[in-house]
Chains A and B, each alone.
Chain A
Amino acid sequence: GAGVSQTPSNKVTEKGKYVELRCDPISGHTALYWYRQSLGQGPEFLIYFQGTGAADDSGLPNDRFFAVRPEGSVSTLKIQRTERGDSAVYLCASSPTGGFGANVLTFGAGSRLTVL
């Protein structure tokens, strides 16, 4: 696609529910990143995929958060037993691997999650 697509753009859920957020990266981009951003803060790194594998998941806050990228393109961020503190904008970015393009991350518009 022309850009990074994230769905849903807005999600409202109740405390304790399960949520899935989807990221469709730019076609051919092998690297994919998830971030979350709270109001007034910069984006906080969560996890980074190189192809199908998670190359760095050091930013996942706890075991309620999990992400997959089974075919090396679309990725899903999964949050179990949501808490009010999980409310944030979840951002996805992708980039090629190698060459100049590897230095440029293209971000989606984000998925705004609100946990009531």
Chain B
Amino acid sequence: GAGVSQSPSNKVTEKGKDVELRCDPISGHTALYWYRQRLGQGLEFLIYFQGNSAPDKSGLPSDRFSAERTGESVSTLTIQRTQQEDSAVYLCASSLAASGWSTDTQYFGPGTRLTVL
């Protein structure tokens, strides 16, 4: 079956513009996570969805960041008024459920590389 897909693969934008990043999880996976990887840094958790609701938004760095999920499927991460420090690879992962069991391993998409000029 298809894995997690993300689009676009690369996005170059000007400072101050808004951007939308898309994630298509594996079909049937109820849990969806967004992570960010800035140059030279480890992956940072941004937000978690269980179904269409987001019970944990603790990793969002500012109110310029928001995300939604519809139909327990596609998720969109929106960054408003982009800043240069938003430049990073944004990774999406999905899992069957949210737990610490190995059966609920997170599967990652290829990421979207965002460059803010």
Q: Is this pair of chains taken from one and the same complex?
A: no
Q: Which residues of A contact B (CB under 8 A)?
A: none
